[in-house]
Structure 1
């Protein structure tokens, strides 16, 4: 057996296919495609020092790692190491080699505190703890059966409220950036974020190959974007909402639920059969909304953190 670890080559289709295949097997609730893998490598902000890694056994990709710095954080040195190994190829050393290579890369570019999402299973948690990572907060992945589930009915819009799609903002998406930035800054997290770079948002979100402007729903109040549900798809049968939120001035009026219900109904009408989303376990309001829609937990991850010496 020959095990090697190397950087992913974004211009090699087989690398992107191997990365997305292993990631899908290890975490089926997560939307990923070869196209999204290649796009992330070539369009990530340079300050992120993003470096996805592949572990190969006799030439076969059996492990992956997402590695980089959180460039949106006002605190320097915040890095991430997310390792996933083919479920049938564990305990062969791939994970250990990926973690070591990731830590070397991050140390070289100024990483001082490393965060890792770890599946909430005894073996995965023990693996992280044995390498100096301590437990932090957790998050759920949730799944909704769009093909057979019963969505809440669409309701009449309150006075002054209208629903638009992300595509309606094609000429000027900045209002969606501002709404996204405000809601993301209030998300529960171990890391503080400051989303002020509009051009980076265009690259990371608006132009991302998984992002669906057509299925993204935006609730406007008196013409002002007040709440939204941002959608991604794999262009097959899988659809996901990656952010649903409301501007602070409009919270408590059910606008996020209104926008998400609109997006879900249109996704089902477009032929998507599965809906996915994710929530921090401490985000009670959003978990309650997703339970109301019929989502069920399909996986849980625990974030772990390690301070580099």
Structure 2
């Protein structure tokens, strides 16, 4: 029997199929970082069942089976946010032993049925020189940005610089206090001018309503450090604990608003955040490879570069041709 391409409803998928997806994903992850600690299957399940940190819906799948076993998959994520209504995030993964047989191409074409009319596909995963880069180029995708994955082993948190006159810090864990939620949203959306290459992914479409939805659906601890000046927002940084490995956390947005840059405030708020992370031993983050300033800040905090990966983009109409 040959390879069969078919849709998979993750919500009702059998445990064996969920584990099959996991095995394919882990084989791919090991290629990018051979010395990484293997992630538990529960971490993948939590990721696939929930919205991602940019508000995209839970993953939709088509899978490739050989003799019933999953040997590859394509996952697609779409967002209902107007700012990203044109875009689908798509990832295609095939076991190394099953590549160069047309399976990836078949999965990519089958994934178009999952996109609900989105006109642009981006994939945030290929590593330079890896099979995914060659696959993307062969199918007409172009590179639109590059990201650097970093890791911090958290032992003794660094000292926090003295806060300049006129500034104050507010910290919380969980839902944003009502009196600060609007400032929090404004701070998050100020990431719009951060360097992200030519991606059309909108990182800055948060609203009070969308934040409250995220908070209501949260399955992990989230810490926020908000920097205020004269009652208005000056900066913000956010970290989220990984729900299946509570000793790990992901550094999400860090933003200092333009009027307050050049004062070392990004380093200050990120340093302060590291004192909030009770029970966390390791923090991961991803930063645009073009954002030399934030990379320097992270290195000053003790982050080490792990690997780089790219975002590639294509029009769905071109893929249907």
Q: Distance in 2 between matches of 1:175 and 1:20?
A: 39
Aligned partners of 1:20 and 1:33 also within 8 Å: yes
Structure 2 gap segments, 5+ residues each: none
Partner of 1:242: 252
Distance 1:60 1:201, change over 3 A: farther
Q: TM-score with structure 1 length normalisation?
A: 0.79
1:81 correspondence with 2:87: no
- Deviations 1:236-292 (Å, cap 9, x if unpaired)? 22111111111233222222221211222332xx22221111111111111111111
Structure 1 gap segments, 5+ residues each: none
RMSD: 3.5
1:276 correspondence with 2:276: no
Q: What SS class does the counterpart of residue 152 from structure 2 fall into?
A: strand
1:257 correspondence with 2:273: no
- Alignment match of 2:46 (pick from 35, 44, 50): 35
- Alignment match of 1:130 (pick from 132, 138, 142): 138
Q: Distance in 2 between matches of 1:297 and 1:86?
A: 26
Partner of 1:206: 215
Distance 1:63 1:151, change over 3 A: farther
Q: Distance in 2 between matches of 1:225 and 1:52?
A: 40
**Where do residues 1-309 of structure 1 align in structure 2 (5 Å cutoff)?**
2-12=3-13, 14=15, 19=21, 22-23=24-25, 26-27=28-29, 32-40=43-51, 51-69=60-78, 72=81, 74=83, 77-85=86-94, 94-106=103-115, 109-117=116-124, 118-147=126-155, 151-167=157-173, 169-171=176-178, 173-184=181-192, 186-189=194-197, 190-191=199-200, 193=202, 195=205, 197-203=207-213, 205-209=214-218, 212-213=221-222, 215-235=223-243, 236=245, 237-267=247-277, 270-307=278-315, 308-309=317-318
Q: Distance in 2 between matches of 1:208 and 1:62?
A: 32
